[in-house]
Amino acid sequence: MTFATAYILLRENAYFFIPLILITALTCVQLIYAKPKIQSLYKAEMVNEDLYKESLISTFSSPTIDDQNSQALITSCNERLKNTIRAHYKYQKANAIQCFWPEMAISAGTVSVVIFSATATPELFGERLIACLGYVGIFTMASTSSIRLGITMIGVRVSVSRIFGEHQYE
């Protein structure tokens, strides 16, 4: 959808070529450089979640629990839950930041193209402007979805490598 919308935008106005190329290139570069951070945050979230699950299992499977031991186990579970929530928050925050910047870049690119087109040729007013802005909106949504898909695939890769070890199966 991203490339189809980019094609329509280019067909409508050739001035969109440079911003679209820059946005696509910067998005790919951003995903490459964000990959290690996202992987580490995802791994931290999964490790904390496993620790929390283990503490819950040990709490409920303990055969004899006195009040003091029970309180210590509950405190441990509570602390692990806080760590899990904190790790999940950090991961979600990083995802939101990674997905948000293309929208800002697309907005800046759109404003510059509209200003440049309006000063160079008066043909980009009226219904063509509305159509172009609609296509830009679709391009923005598709770009954000593409980045979310890329981030999800990073998480899937981490999960698969966690399940099967560090072995690469092809």
> Rg for the chain (alpha carbons), in Å?
24
**How far are the Cα atoms of 26, 83, 102, 103 from residue 107, in angstroms, in the given order?**
14, 37, 8, 6
On whether residue 19 sits in a domain, the answer given is yes
On whether residue 125 sits in a domain, the answer given is yes
Is the CB of residue 85 less than 8 Å from the CB of residue 49? no
Return the pLDDT at 4.
Answer: 76
How many domains, the chain? 1
76-106 confidence digits (pLDDT tens)? 888 998 999 999 899 888 888 887 777 777 7
9-28 confidence digits (pLDDT tens)? 777 777 777 777 877 787 77
Q: What is the pTM of this model?
A: 0.67
On whether residue 126 sits in a domain, the answer given is yes
Which residue range forms the structural domain that includes residue 117?
Answer: 2-40+88-163
Residue 90 token pair: 């950090």
On whether residue 98 sits in a domain, the answer given is yes
Residue whose tokens read 């629990």: 65
DSSP 63: S
On whether residue 78 sits in a domain, the answer given is no
Q: Decide which of 169 and 95 is more confident.
A: 95
Residue whose tokens read 């996202």: 38
131-153 confidence digits (pLDDT tens)? 777 777 777 777 777 778 888 88
pLDDT of 56 over the 80 cut = yes
On whether residue 7 sits in a domain, the answer given is yes
On whether residue 32 sits in a domain, the answer given is yes
Cα–Cα distance measured from residue 93 to residue 99, given in angstroms and rounded to the nearest whole number: 10
On whether residue 12 sits in a domain, the answer given is yes
Cα–Cα distance measured from residue 127 to residue 125, given in angstroms and rounded to the nearest whole number: 7
